[in-house]
Amino acid sequence: MENGTIIMTNALRLGKWRVVCDRCGFKRYSDEVVKTWDNFYVCAPSTGKTCFETRHPLDLIRAKPEDVSVPYTRREPADTFVTVAYVASTVGIQETTIPAGNFTTNNETI
Ligand SMILES: [Zn+2]
């Protein structure tokens, strides 16, 4: 404090009250803060602090809803089952038993 200067940081200002900035935490008078778009009370630009930010313009842009419907639809048809005769009963007599014994390929016993 040079020359007896007193800095009165908590000086009374009639009709004003103290507000803590939601961004920097500094104490400000009520006329030195502004309300932001997201309901914060921050230092006004006139105080020299950079706490106040305008809302970004891209926050207000809404994309057009996309139409994802298809031109036409159909129900899936019912399943059709085919009976298959695995054993041919109309052509002679088919051997369905596994023959016993040893099998060889290339002259080697399996
Ligand atoms: Zn601030």
At residue 67, the 3 state secondary structure works out as: coil
Return the pLDDT at 98: 80
What is the whole-number distance in angstroms between the Cα of residue 35 and the centre of ligand 1? 11
Return the pLDDT at 7: 55
What is the whole-number distance in angstroms between the Cα of residue 21 and the centre of ligand 1? 5
What is the whole-number distance in angstroms between the Cα of residue 108 and the centre of ligand 1? 92
In the chain, the percentage of residues whose pLDDT exceeds 70 is 78
Asked if the model's pLDDT at residue 30 lies above 60, the reply is yes
Query: What is the phi/psi pair of residue 7, to 5°?
Result: -90, 115
At residue 31, the 3 state secondary structure works out as: helix
What is the whole-number distance in angstroms between the Cα of residue 15 and the centre of ligand 1? 21
10 Å CB burial of residue 56 (0-12, 13-18, 19+) is exposed
Chain segment 44-87, per-residue pLDDT in tens: 999 999 999 999 999 999 999 999 999 999 999 999 999 887 76
Q: Which residue has the higher pLDDT, 27 or 96?
A: 27
Q: Are 27 and 18 in contact (CB under 8 A)?
A: yes
Domains of the chain: 13-51 (3.30.60)
Q: Are 63 and 48 in contact (CB under 8 A)?
A: no
CA distances from 82 to 30, 79, 85, 89, 90 (A): 85, 10, 10, 18, 18
In the chain, the percentage of residues whose pLDDT exceeds 90 is 60
Return the pLDDT at 52: 95
Confidence of residue 1 (pLDDT cuts 50, 70, 90): very low
